[in-house]
């Protein structure tokens, strides 16, 4: 490949130039003074907003990376669990064995919730109240005392 003359000229212009320490410090002071005065005179809220946006974006990316990592870990755990189940076998819950003595033993205690008689029979749902009335709609002790008082009143 041949290079053109212009390519070597631009490459030569980009060569670094050695500066002494004093020259570099002088150049830095000039840049600071010029940038400091311009930054103080011009307040640009868009720069602050853009930095805040960058920070929020960075935080969001970090959270997304954590979520992806957590998801990858969960998938890895599922795979390991499947491998363990394949080699060790699945853990089946054992059937509870009831002794024959417990199976046929009569329980004398039960809850009211276990009582189905009240649900089936309507007499238990609306119990009949004992009527203490005697004769013409009066309770027995009132009816008897009134009769006696009427008889006494007639005799007088």
- Rounded average pLDDT over 25-48: 73
d(CA 83, CA 134) in angstroms, rounded, equals 85
**103: confidence class by pLDDT, cuts 50, 70, 90:** confident
pLDDT top residue among 87 and 134: 87
- Contact (CB, 8 A) for 124 and 117: yes
Say yes or no to pLDDT of 70 above 90: yes
Please report the pLDDT score of residue 95 as a whole number: 86
Please report the pLDDT score of residue 56 as a whole number: 92
- Global model pTM greater than 0.75: no
Closest CA to 19 of 30, 8, 9: 30
């Amino acid at each position: 490949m041949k290079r053109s003359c212009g390519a070597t000229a631009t490459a030569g212009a980009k060569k670094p130039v050695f500066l002494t320490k004093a020259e570099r410090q002088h150049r830095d002071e000039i840049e600071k003074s010029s940038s400091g005065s311009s930054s103080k005179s011009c307040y640009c809220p868009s720069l602050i907003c853009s930095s805040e946006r960058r920070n929020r974006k960075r935080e969001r990316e970090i959270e997304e990376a954590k979520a992806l990592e957590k998801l990858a870990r969960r998938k890895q755990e599922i795979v390991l669990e499947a491998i363990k189940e394949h080699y060790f076998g699945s853990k089946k819950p054992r059937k509870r064995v009831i002794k024959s003595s417990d199976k046929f033993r009569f329980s004398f205690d039960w809850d009211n919730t276990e009582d189905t008689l009240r649900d089936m029979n309507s007499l238990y749902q609306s119990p009949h109240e004992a009527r203490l009335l005697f004769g013409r709609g009066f309770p027995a002790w009132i009816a008897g005392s009134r009769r006696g008082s009427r008889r006494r009143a007639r005799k007088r």
